[in-house]
Structure 1
Amino acid sequence: MAWKNAVKITVLKKTWQEDLAEEYLANPAVGPCSIFQEGQEFLVTKENYLTMLDGKFCSEAWSAISHYVYAALQGGSVMHGWTRDEKVMITCCNDGTRPVIFKIERLDP
């Protein structure tokens, strides 16, 4: 593998879909995600990619975004033609009632 790059993940926003939680969750008072904080940053390198940042990242969120991180670590375009900068992507975790929105940035050497 050609692990040339690093990737920065930034937590942009935590959201809470209270109406959906009320209708569908066993515990509708759970509230927004308690794992991440807005503005929190993570640096992903070849050394910590395979360990979900040494266990510091939510496994469900990692499952949703890790393939984009992997592409960026390889030097690939994260969102060619979709974002203004092909090295940047805005994405989110797969929790439908309290999704966390992330910015993924490829950091070139």
Structure 2
Amino acid sequence: MNGDEQVTVLDKKLYPELQQQYCADPSFGVCPCYNVGDEFEFYRDDVRDDFWHMGINTLTKTTGDADAVAGGPKLPFCSEVWDAISCYIYTGLQGGSIMKGWMKRENEMITCCSDEARLVIFNIERIDCE
């Protein structure tokens, strides 16, 4: 079975009080790796398997510099993001249910990275192909 998934950055959050209290550089600000609205497409077929390359070159849309976006042509996904979402990417690429019973649609979910002081929220959608 061939699998496709679309990943979209829905939002970025910053918690300056947490950065101030816990981060070595409390002025670092929002995540520099992604932009709200960035879109990525993951494929898995006989020719291409984006999962095994940590999403490098899966970026299809950005308002920023594609070379500076994690998942663009030069950078793999951020390791904190990849650790948080890779299991959902893999499940969707295999054709599985991403979050049945929790989300409105079993082929779609929202999730975020594990950087609690400046998190990025993603929508992951399995694209069903005939």
TM-score normalised according to structure 1 size: 0.93
Structure with bigger helix share is: 1
Bigger relative CO (Cα 8 Å, ≥ 6 apart):
1
Q: CA RMSD in A?
A: 1.0
1:78 matched to 2:76: no
Unaligned runs of 5+ in 2: 57-74
Q: How far did 1:58 drift?
A: 1.2
Aligned residue among 24, 49, 52 for 1:50:
52
1:60 matched to 2:62: no
TM-score normalised according to structure 2 size: 0.79
Moved over 3 A (4+): none
The 5 Å alignment of 1:1-109 reads: 2=1, 4-46=2-44, 47-54=49-56, 55-109=75-129
Identity within the alignment, %: 44
Q: Secondary structure at the match of 1:77?
A: coil
Aligned length: 107
Unaligned runs of 5+ in 1: none
Bigger mean CA offset, 31-40 vs 48-57: 48-57
